[in-house]
């Protein structure tokens, strides 16, 4: 990893997009403290900051791997924008969870047969996605499978996973990254929709 520390951000992104995983480790190490501090300042909750921090890097990884990152010489501002959007999304979710009104419609929104049918179909769709996802996860290498399961199904942060497994956060993120990449490949190969 030390041999890449002198490279500029965009060089590291290009190297990572081309398959040099250590390049992303340098980017993570370079910006993790600053990014985490910014997120924590915005949300003022360590658990939520951990989740948003992790999701930011997962989104960055997937965007770069999908070839959608546009090199502008401004990697950290781009990363910060992803985090900012996730913070805004979180605030919207919290606001929507607090305010649900049935007063502004002519029919009973919460007891609508049509909505109940839609809800039941959505529930079945979610169950099918979960079933497919579990089947795919079972085909991951054990180190990736374990991290994916701990994060998505046991709500463990990468910091908690790193502590439980006695590995670094970078290693936990790396295994997660490979797990997601492998899940996407398998889903594409078997034409399985995971969303």
Please report the pLDDT score of residue 109 as a whole number: 45
CATH of segment(s) 1-98: 1.10.1740.10
The fold adopted by the segment(s) 112-195 is: Arc Repressor Mutant, subunit A (1.10.10)
pTM: 0.54
Number of other residues whose CB lies within 10 A of the CB of residue 54: 20
Q: Where are the strands (E) in the chain, listed by range?
A: none
pLDDT digits (tens, 9 = 90+) for 135-161: 888 889 999 999 988 887 788 888 888
Please report the pLDDT score of residue 110 as a whole number: 47
Do 1-98 and 112-195 come out as alike in CATH topology? no
**What whole-number distance in Å separates Cα of residue 194 and Cα of residue 190?**
11
Closest CA to 176 of 191, 163, 157: 157
Q: Give me the helix-helix angle, 158-165 and 169-189, nearest 10°.
A: 110
Q: With contact defined as beta carbons under 8 Å apart, do 57 and 94 qualify?
A: no
Which tokens sit at 152? 């998505």
pLDDT over threshold 80, residue 47: yes
pLDDT over threshold 60, residue 162: yes
Q: With contact defined as beta carbons under 8 Å apart, do 64 and 47 qualify?
A: no
b vs e for 20-34, b when ≥16 Cβ sit within 10 Å of the residue's Cβ?
A: eeebbbbbbeebbee
**What whole-number distance in Å separates Cα of residue 9 and Cα of residue 65?**
15
Q: Which residue has the higher pLDDT, 192 or 113?
A: 192
- The domain limits of the chain are 1-98, 112-195
């Amino acid at each position: 990893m030390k041999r890449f520390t002198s490279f500029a951000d965009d060089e590291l992104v290009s190297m990572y997009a081309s398959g040099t995983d250590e390049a992303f480790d340098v980017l993570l190490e370079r910006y993790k403290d600053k990014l985490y501090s910014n997120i924590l300042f915005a949300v003022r909750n360590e658990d939520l900051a951990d989740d948003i921090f992790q999701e930011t890097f997962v989104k960055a990884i997937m965007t770069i791997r999908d070839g959608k990152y546009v090199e502008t010489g401004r990697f950290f501002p781009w990363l910060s924008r992803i985090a900012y959007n996730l913070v805004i999304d979180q605030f919207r979710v919290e606001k929507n969870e607090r305010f649900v009104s049935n007063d502004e419609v002519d029919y009973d929104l919460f007891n609508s047969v049509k909505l109940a049918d839609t809800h039941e179909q959505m529930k079945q769709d979610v169950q099918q996605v979960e079933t497919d996802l579990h089947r795919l996860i079972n085909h991951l290498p054990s180190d990736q499978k374990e991290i994916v399961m701990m994060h998505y199904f046991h709500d463990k942060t990468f910091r908690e996973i790193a502590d439980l497994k006695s590995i670094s956060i970078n290693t936990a993120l790396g295994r997660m990254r490979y797990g997601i990449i492998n899940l996407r490949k398998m889903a594409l190969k078997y034409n399985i929709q995971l969303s």
